Structures are given as C-alpha cells and as structure tokens.
Amino acid sequence: MRSPYHFILFPLLLEMYGSLSVHRFEKPSLNGTSASWYFAIGGTTTGKEYSVSLATFRSDDSNKGATVYSSGSAGPVQIQKALVNGSLLTWYLGNIRNNGKAYRGSLDSVVVHSGKASIRLESIAEPLGETGEALTVIPADSERGKTMKVSVWVRTKDVASFVYLGGNDGSSQMGNMKTVPGGTNDWKRYSFELKINPNATYIELGFGLYGTGTVWFDDIRVQFDGKDYVPDSNAPYGSSAPTPHVSLTDDQLEWLRSNISPLTTTDPAASLSDLAPIKTIVGNAEIVGLGEATHGTHEFFELKHRIVEYLAKNMGFTIFAIEANMPEAYRVNDYVLHGTGDPAELIKGMYFWTWNTEEMLDMVTWMREFNLSGKGRVQFLGFDMQYMTNAAANVQWFLDHHDTSISHGTQTTYALARELILRMKSSYASYYSTSDPTDSDSASWLLAINNCRALEKHLGSYPNTFSKAIDPDTLAWALQNARIVTEAVEENYGYAHRHYIRDSCMAWNVKWIHDHNPGAKIVLWAHDAHIQKDSGSMGYYLDGVYGSRYVNIGFSFYDGTYTAVGSRGLNTYTAKVPPEGTAEYGFHLVGKPLWLLDIRKSSSTDPASNWLRHPISFRTIGAMESNSFSPQTLSDSFDALIFVDHSTASHILPPGQ
C-alpha cells in the first residue's frame, strides 16, 4: 500500500481514520518561536466540514477555515489557520480507528518544559490498535536531498506501551523513527534524523502515542543540514510540482478515450480475445506483476485470473506466484501439479483471508484442469515470508535426515525465535520494548537472528564440505526455507526497530524462483503497493534487477464495495466515491466500465497525457477498511493500468471449505 502516512507504525492499519474536529490553543514553541497550534481531535465535529487528505491541505489567509488542495479521506475535518514562525503550518491529532474515541489532544499550559504550553496527547478510552498522533506537513521544495534533524522534549505519564517520533518524505519506505520508552518519565530530549529524498514532494513530521497513558511534547526544533527551518507562508502543502488535485480537461479525457483498450468482461469463462493488448504491454518481459487496489475486489480477482490464463496459453508463462508465504503456497502447488490434497484447505493454509475466496479457488481449480489437459503446465508458488512455522519444519526435516550434528541446536534457535515472535505479537508493550538495544529482549532477538544467519551459511557450504549425494534441489529448497525463517525473524524484529524489510525480502524470493527455474516466465499476484516501482516496494527492487524484463499492471476502481477487515470485522464495506481531482474521478469520466491503458504511451511533453507523469491523488486500500487517497505518479509506479468502474466484494469461502 502506498500512502503518505507510511512513517507511522502499521501500514495496513493506518488508513482507518476517525472523525476529527479542530480546536485552537495558545503558544506552543517550534524552533524557539511562539505560535498558535490547531489540533484536529477525534470526536464530534463542529463548524464547516471538509473531506481532505491529511497531507494535501493548507489553511488560507482569511482565518475562516481551509483551502482544500486535494480531496481525500481524513473524515470530517474543520481546518483552521496555524501560524508557526509567522507562517502557515497545520498540525492535527487523529485516531487511527474507533471513530476517534480513544485519544484527546490539547495544549497544556500547566505542564511545560519551557514557554507557555506543551502539546499533550492522552488516552481517554482503551485503544483498539489505534494511535493518537500530532502531525504536520513541511514543504519539500527547498529541502530535497538535505538531512532533516528533529529534536523535541518529551514527558510521559503511565504510558503502557510506547511513544514514537518520526518523519516521512513521501517515499513508500517508512521514515526514520525514534521510540520513547513507556512508563512515567520526566522531561528528556530526543532527536532523530531523516535523509530527504531528492524527489520528495512533501515532508511529514509526527509524534504519537500507542496504548494508554499521557505524553507531552515541547520545544520542537527542526533543522535541515544544520540550519533552522524557516517556513514559507506562501507554500502549499509541500511542492511546486503539480498539485495532486488534477481535474482533467476535455483534451485529456479525449486522450484517455483514444488510448484505452476496452475490456468486455471479467468472467474467466469468457473468450480471452479482448486481452490481446496484454501481449504488446508484456512484450519480452520475463516477470509480470499484477496489482490490486484492494485485497477484496471480486472483479480484480476475476480479471487477474483471465490474465494469468492468457499469459499461460498465449505467451508461455509457466509460473504463478502470489503474495503468500512461500512454503505454504508450495503445498497448493502439489495440488495444481499432482492433485494432492483439498484445494480449499490448502488455500486456507496460506494464512491470509484475502486469498481464502471463491475467486482464488476457481483459479486454482482451473490451473489443475489446465495441467491435466496436456496443453501446458503452470505452477502455483508464493514469495512472501511473514511466517516461519512451515519453513522451520522443512529445515528441521532436512537436518534430521542429512546433518544431525546441528539438528538439536537449530531446534533450540527456532524455538527461541518462535517464542520471541509470539511474545511480541501477544503484547505490544513487549513488542516495542526491543527499541532499547541494551534490554534483554533485544539481545535475544540478535542471538536468534545471528544463529539463523549462521545456519544459512552452514547450509550454503554443503556443496563443498558435504557429501554430493544430497540432491541439489533438496539442498536448495532447505537453504531457501532457512532463508525464509531468517527473513521472518528479521522482519518481526525489524518492525520493532522501524525497518520495514518485507518488500525487499519478497523481491529476493521472486529472484530465487526465477534463478531456480531457468527460462521460465513468472506472473506475480500482489497488492498495487508491492508490484509498483516506487522506492522501497517489491517492484522497485525487481525493476532494478530486471529492468525492462519486469513489467507491471496496476488496478484501480471508481465506486462500489470490497471485502476488508474494519469496524464490523471481516465484512463487506462501501468505498468512498472519489472526489473530483482524483485519478479515479477522471477515469470514471471516460465513460467505459472496464478498460486497460498502457501508461507508457503518455508523454511529458504532451499536455493531453503529461498529467500521468505528475502526482495525482490515487486510491489505495489494503486488507483494512479505508478511504485513503494519496499522491502518486502513475507513470513512475506502473507500466499499465486496468480500471474497473464498479467494484463488488470478493466472496470469502464458507467455513465448511
């Protein structure tokens, strides 16, 4: 998922914002200057409401509210002018979930480090996985390529979990983070640095409270390359680049209508002839990434089924790989190739509810039938690495049969890793206690990681130091499973230390599949945020390795329903109708229900198509209920795009299956 809020802790949870209202308080300090700060606080909204993206508004000069630069989905928000160093900056506090019931934000004139007031965040109800935060957006024009240093004094009282400080420069990677220990602590100065991307369109600065308790922030100082930040009162939210709010002209709409390839249906049982343009888009690519704007749209799943079938029948693609844990997906492959097992149970065994659908079962069933037909062969693989259970079992089996000398030690290492992951996931407080590298949990994590890496190195030495009687494929699979375990442990530890490594690991695993299947062509199935070529995404790494041999197709939709986890659990949710200025709004005006566009046809010198080469608000929904739109340059992210005007929810398999 791509969002300007990635610097916050949980990418899939962060797109669920509650109701917000704004209140004015007096004189906090930024860079030593008093200013009026305004907070959008979860709760009842008064005054005029605006639906805005959290990073795409700025207050106007009239003291009467806000100029909305890009419609988005922060919920109902009343925006007021906030002066910082005599210039406009907007700060807000928002709840991630629970409709703004868990946190309250204010300025405190009693508890201060210096000056007249400090920022206070406090829990007022039991948080349900949500975060209370204060955030502002800094223009990026004069700061690109520089190092931002932020310092702030922090005081805590009865914080059950942790406090975090962080920044983000609009890339898909999480920004640098600093964790403040929980408990009750007097004022202490903390600082962190963030290298700003040369292509940044905005810079976000945020402080947050996770779990119950109260935290105060004061004496905030922001520097770029050692010089105090001086705001530009005339700047919009972050860049002189074209604002994400783009209303398409008649010429731009006509360009779209002239360059799209209409698709006739999503039905996998129908003729594939309308997919012929796919052949030109894919060309000689060896790896094709198929995205999805939600993890729960029926039409996306059916369309991707059709494309997989087209690629297998017409372009020689023989491997399908999905955003699912690698060893578990290989069990589905046993069914696809040999008919082993119950496909519905095997799909459920991949852990993610997102794939536990009738649409996925239909495609797996087609794969089995295709392999039986004698017309071709296609495999079902996975490239994700979030779970270690089956990978560890596969490694243990290999050692029990080929190297009993380290079998027991490996069992001990894996038991420690499982215990740490379980402890982390069962208690967020324990989870984030690892932020202090001197504590005992951190030492245990590092011990487990180092032992996992040592085992990889040991297995890698087998061809030179062990009997050649070991089947090379068996050895390669054991080594890869050991790597999956290491990746899973490192990712879980990495979350606690703010390093989001999943996409780089998934890219490495795709490369492993490609390397071990010489000449094979691979089609990938994942979220748009993973297959896209933006910095930090899986597609970014694949593009770096394979260049033009990697092609991706993003997916988008206008309105309708989708399956997700949200306020009503795993259920069907209605998507926000995209406001004018978003990409989806423009796509809807094309007037066709289903179409494919080769974005590479656009040109930076053509006024009718160059909007595709500049940021525009674009929807992204992961596994969680969301109404998030964020700036995205579509030509940088995708080679092609499929648009579905109306989405309907995917169909979760019934419990019996």
Q: What is the dihedral of CA 25, 29, 31, 36, to 10 degrees?
A: 20
Q: What is the pLDDT of residue 83?
A: 34
The yes-or-no verdict on residue 99 having pLDDT over 70 is: no
Query: Between 574 and 206, whose confidence is greater?
Result: 574
Q: Where are the beta strands (DSSP E) in 342-497?
A: 379-384
Residue position matching structure tokens 């986890």: 565
Query: Between 484 and 5, whose confidence is greater?
Result: 484
45 — pLDDT class (breaks 50, 70, 90): very low
User: Could you report the per-residue pLDDT of 561-613, keeping only the tens digit for each?
Assistant: 999 998 888 999 999 999 999 999 999 999 999 999 999 999 999 999 999 99
Report the relative pairing of strands 594-598 and 616-619 from DSSP bridges.
unpaired
Residue position matching structure tokens 């070991």: 470
What is the percent of the chain where pLDDT is above 70?
A: 75
The yes-or-no verdict on residue 245 having pLDDT over 70 is: no
Query: Between 255 and 445, whose confidence is greater?
Result: 255
Distance CA 509, CA 21 (A): 45
User: What CATH number is attached to the domain comprising 167?
Assistant: 2.60.120.260
Give mean pLDDT, residues 12-39.
Answer: 33
Is 153 found in the same domain as 54?
yes
Is 136 found in the same domain as 218?
yes
The SS3 assignment for 201 reads coil
User: Could you report the per-residue pLDDT of 497-513, keeping only the tens digit for each?
Assistant: 434 588 989 999 999 99
**Within 13 Å and on the Cβ side, how many CA atoms surround 97?**
19
Query: Between 217 and 360, whose confidence is greater?
Result: 360
Is 630 found in the same domain as 532?
yes
CB 156 within 8 A of CB 184: yes
The yes-or-no verdict on residue 6 having pLDDT over 90 is: no
Residue partners of 272: CB distance under 8 A and separation at least 6: 306, 309, 310, 313, 314
The SS3 assignment for 247 reads coil
- Within a domain: 654: no
Q: What is the pLDDT of residue 644?
A: 98
Q: What is the pLDDT of residue 41?
A: 29
Regarding pTM above 0.75, the answer is no
Residue partners of 471: CB distance under 8 A and separation at least 6: none
Distance CA 266, CA 285 (A): 24
Is 287 found in the same domain as 224?
no
Is 262 found in the same domain as 221?
no
Distance CA 251, CA 219 (A): 51
Out of 138-142, 302-306, 612-616, pick the least confident: 138-142
The yes-or-no verdict on residue 536 having pLDDT over 50 is: yes
Q: What is the pLDDT of residue 200?
A: 73
User: What CATH number is attached to the domain comprising 611?
Assistant: 3.40.1660.10
- Within a domain: 403: yes
Beta-carbon count within 10 A of 62 CB: 9
Q: What is the pLDDT of residue 657?
A: 54
What is the percent of the chain where pLDDT is above 90?
A: 51
Q: What is the pLDDT of residue 363?
A: 98
The amino acid at 529: A
Q: What is the pLDDT of residue 164?
A: 82
Q: What is the pLDDT of residue 130?
A: 58
414 — pLDDT class (breaks 50, 70, 90): very high
The yes-or-no verdict on residue 12 having pLDDT over 70 is: no
Q: What is the pLDDT of residue 211?
A: 78
- Segments forming the whole domain that contains residue 414: 389-495
Q: What is the pLDDT of residue 263?
A: 98
Per-residue 3-state assignment (H helix, E strand, C coil) for 264-290: CCCCCCCCCHHHCHHHHHHCCCCEEEE
Element (H, E) at 392: helix 389-402
- Within a domain: 345: yes
Report the relative pairing of strands 103-108 and 147-168 from DSSP bridges.
unpaired
Nearest by Cα to 532 from 419, 641, 622: 641
Is 590 found in the same domain as 481?
no
- Within a domain: 10: no
CB 619 within 8 A of CB 564: no
Beta-carbon count within 10 A of 621 CB: 27
The amino acid at 470: I
The yes-or-no verdict on residue 7 having pLDDT over 50 is: no
- Within a domain: 525: yes
Q: What is the pLDDT of residue 128?
A: 52
Query: Between 98 and 460, whose confidence is greater?
Result: 460
Q: What is the pLDDT of residue 442?
A: 76
Query: Between 238 and 221, whose confidence is greater?
Result: 221
Distance CA 328, CA 350 (A): 5
Written as six digits, the tokens of 91 are: 């700060």
The yes-or-no verdict on residue 419 having pLDDT over 60 is: yes
Is 190 found in the same domain as 313?
no
Distance CA 95, CA 77 (A): 13
Give mean pLDDT, residues 193-197.
Answer: 85
Q: Where are the beta strands (DSSP E) in 62-146?
A: 66-68, 71-77, 83-84, 87-88, 91-95, 103-108, 118-123, 131-138
Apex CA 579: angle with CA 578 and CA 581, to 5°?
A: 110
Is 179 found in the same domain as 73?
yes
Classify the C-alpha dihedral 279-280-285-288 as positive or negative: negative
Is 394 found in the same domain as 340?
no
The SS3 assignment for 44 reads coil
Helices 472-496 and 326-338 pack at an angle, to 10 degrees, of 140
Distance CA 654, CA 657 (A): 6
Q: Where are the beta strands (DSSP E) in 261-418?
A: 261-262, 287-290, 319-325, 379-384
Is 143 found in the same domain as 283?
no
- Within a domain: 8: no
> What is the tally of structural domains in the chain?
3
Written as six digits, the tokens of 458 are: 């040991």
127 — pLDDT class (breaks 50, 70, 90): low
**Within 13 Å and on the Cβ side, how many CA atoms surround 88?**
20
Is 198 found in the same domain as 56?
yes
Query: Between 318 and 230, whose confidence is greater?
Result: 318
Mean pLDDT, the chain, integer = 79
- Within a domain: 15: no
The yes-or-no verdict on residue 74 having pLDDT over 90 is: no
Which range, 31-45, 72-86, 525-539, has the best average confidence (pLDDT)? 525-539
Distance CA 652, CA 166 (A): 37
Element (H, E) at 194: strand 177-195
Nearest by Cα to 629 from 10, 74, 40: 74
- Within a domain: 553: yes
Is 595 found in the same domain as 544?
yes
Distance CA 387, CA 389 (A): 6
Q: What is the pLDDT of residue 47?
A: 26
Written as six digits, the tokens of 628 are: 């998030």
Give mean pLDDT, residues 531-554.
Answer: 94
Beta-carbon count within 10 A of 475 CB: 17
The SS3 assignment for 234 reads coil
Query: Between 398 and 106, whose confidence is greater?
Result: 398
